[in-house]
Structure 1
């Protein structure tokens, strides 16, 4: 197939382009014929390259072809495969799925009630910052190699922010496992629903392998799973058990509650913030189309009308058809990288893409005066660098991410946890039993969240 395409391209280069164009415009029959030929050539090329990235991925990781071989998949390889989905193959669906996974946890009353008590949803400012901080933390340990200091620092900071609540029982271990399950499962579901192809077994195994390893690093107990904590066959087996457990957990605990609705409403304000006022209601209805009945009922939302459902499903079908049959794959220069790779002069990192509020975005000339900036300004929304340091124009410090009352706190604890992770999480295979598990981690947490005022 590649040789045939090469011959076609060589032949096209040898054609006298000027003469061809003149003939094209003079004769309508030739014009139609040439148009059909060019369209056929494009579709042939598109078809040959559309699945090329998947084929290349399967070739590079052919050592994981059988289920027996998948059991030996390393955390590093799983991360590499997942990174392809996040940055190249399905960036939109993956990011939206992770955002929706967080939103879905608010359908569990024990989770939503605790979030309200922390005052993180008391006003729009804290809601937006929590949204940005959560995205930055999750983004660090997904975008950077598992054994890298950047990923391990993000995991350590996440553990520090949760340790006091977990040790006091304010955060249930079952809620931690449920949250982990959504981060693993929602990208698979979203890609299946909204993208031009479903994930291969290799890609799904990578997701299961990666999130099993991350669950170990976060010390999330897997004892409630039939094969837990460490008797899973491979990433696919782990996902199967996690999916069944997660569905049962929702059946038992995802119930209507005022705290669910309050947190969902605050989050929905973030989702539709950048929309014109006359479109906000439509935005909420389209967001409701993504919800299943159980989630919608738990958040006490009305179902969208048949009109919204029809429009939504039609748009998704058109997008899937276009991407599968007409669009070329994303080129390397179109790679989606949300964060800067290297620290700036302040030792911090910038967010390169943002939604609504420009937390941690560098106030460059383009970001403040480019075409998108003018649209943002016209809609009355803030730009990077507005209001002095309110939106952290110097970027974020990994060890300060989280609620403002935790800034500057927990550095010793984060350092201790990070040192333990360096010994425990080295990119190895999480399903090989003889390798050490992060559940064996031993460290002392000082100045933890329970010792910090939430006022």
Structure 2
């Protein structure tokens, strides 16, 4: 019967057509897969390593935005979620007491405060929501990364972060090394995760952009690099900065990241948030998958158990399969993934379009409240927009971010910091002055000899 059906004239005609369609689709995927990064590189004019030395922070932000919104939105976000764990296991951070059950390491070292509207600081779900807000995007870093460095939104985000951190810095409760280590994981983890789990690694241009952008953020935070990073003051481009901060972070982890009981509870709560939408019957297995992705050092520092062989095999093979499918069988994203609303011209508020557990700052629309995603969220135990009061669907203001006792405060300090930052040309190249000094004081004397 099957042989007869295959020999039918209609079937014989259909098979070549389907074969051509499949081959044509695969050829289209191959032709378009690298189009985005090639066009961006051509438009920016960064054709070799030497050209990267002229990369400005404005250009770095555009490249970083392309990474987050178009190339690797899922894995970039996943990398930053895992990066949340690391700064909370260093010895200095362990010594900072929690307040009201809320670990100070989240609000101080991931340079992002938490929602002012939280009635209880121990509400972990709200913690991670606002860990997205002040820095930029992708949970901890979207708001900086998705706005030009000299824009009002970016400057206010940095100023608010600096205001919230200032009393802890002044009191010596958190060190320069702690801030530097937090900055390092924000730089290093996305590069590592994308190299291991995405359909391609980052190019030199993209790595340089991450180094350039976060070096400028570190400067705005007042982080000091001298005495910590090997080539401090002599970097010629963002790649050299990334290399130095990666090497320093590895050394720092050996001394500072030790197993301890002090933050075990907070780590469990953070893990609980990350797998909140996983059905109950699968949570245990997904936890094992997370343990596998953490790596030995982070897992041991948090006193998490070693994952099973089955979980490790499944998660790594699933990621390999995903990488293969994306590389050869999927068309590239044709439009950006939008995480935030434009700033409201009347109120100045900004809304979120994505959330993990509780829909803070998410607008209540017919689609967000009654669409398929909202019903799936409810089935898995989450809250859809409009289901609960206090989710601030009108959006947030930078001045309101932080603990309740800081809500609306610090506006004068922020205004002074914004004015100071605005005069520092944050959109320029953060390495240009270093190169000039290096040429004058290092290269010229050698040439004279």
Give the alignment's TM-score, normalised by structure 1. Answer: 0.85
Displacement after TM superposition at 1:35 (Å): 2.1
5 Å matches for 1:197-212? 197-212=200-215
Q: Aligned equivalents of 1:170 and 1:40: distance in 2?
A: 61
Q: Aligned equivalents of 1:393 and 1:136: distance in 2?
A: 14
Report the counterpart of residue 27 of structure 2 in structure 1.
Answer: 44
Displacement after TM superposition at 1:112 (Å): 4.3
Is contact 2:291–2:307 with CA below 8 Å preserved after alignment?
Answer: yes
Report the counterpart of residue 72 of structure 2 in structure 1.
Answer: 90
- 220, 223, 230: which one aligns with 1:220: 223
Q: Does 1:424 align with 2:424?
A: yes
5 Å matches for 1:94-109? 94-109=76-91
Q: Which runs of 5+ in 1 are unaligned?
A: 1-22, 437-455
Displacement after TM superposition at 1:286 (Å): 1.4
Cα 1:26–1:398 change in 2 (3 A) is: farther
Displacement after TM superposition at 1:171 (Å): 0.8
Q: Which runs of 5+ in 2 are unaligned?
A: 1-5, 105-119, 137-142, 437-449
- 77, 97, 112: which one aligns with 2:59: 77
Cα displacement string for residues 91-123 of structure 1 (whole angstroms, at most 9, x for unaligned residues): 111111122212222222422442634632597
Report the counterpart of residue 112 of structure 2 in structure 1.
Answer: none
Displacement after TM superposition at 1:376 (Å): 2.2
Q: Does 1:60 align with 2:63?
A: no
Q: Aligned equivalents of 2:380 and 2:243: distance in 1?
A: 45
Is contact 1:130–1:402 with CA below 8 Å preserved after alignment?
Answer: no
Is contact 1:24–1:34 with CA below 8 Å preserved after alignment?
Answer: no
- 131, 134, 137: which one aligns with 1:134: 131
Cα 1:120–1:93 change in 2 (3 A) is: same
Q: Aligned equivalents of 1:203 and 1:426: distance in 2?
A: 19
Q: Does 1:111 align with 2:93?
A: yes
Give the alignment's TM-score, normalised by structure 2. Answer: 0.86
> How many residues of Structure 1 are paired with residues of Structure 2 in the alignment?
410
Aligned-residue CA RMSD in angstroms? 2.2
Cα 1:39–1:115 change in 2 (3 A) is: farther
Q: Aligned equivalents of 1:180 and 1:400: distance in 2?
A: 24
Is contact 2:129–2:356 with CA below 8 Å preserved after alignment?
Answer: no
Q: Does 1:360 align with 2:361?
A: yes
Is contact 2:75–2:194 with CA below 8 Å preserved after alignment?
Answer: yes
Report the counterpart of residue 7 of structure 1 in structure 2.
Answer: none
Q: Which moved more, 1:268-277 or 1:47-56?
A: 268-277
Q: Aligned equivalents of 2:351 and 2:304: distance in 1?
A: 36
Q: Aligned equivalents of 1:396 and 1:125: distance in 2?
A: 21
Report the counterpart of residue 232 of structure 1 in structure 2.
Answer: 235
Displacement after TM superposition at 1:374 (Å): 1.9
| Aligned partner of residue 168 in structure 2, secondary structure | helix
Is contact 2:220–2:421 with CA below 8 Å preserved after alignment?
Answer: yes
Q: Aligned equivalents of 1:166 and 1:392: distance in 2?
A: 30
| Aligned partner of residue 433 in structure 2, secondary structure | coil
Q: Which moved more, 1:32-41 or 1:77-86?
A: 32-41
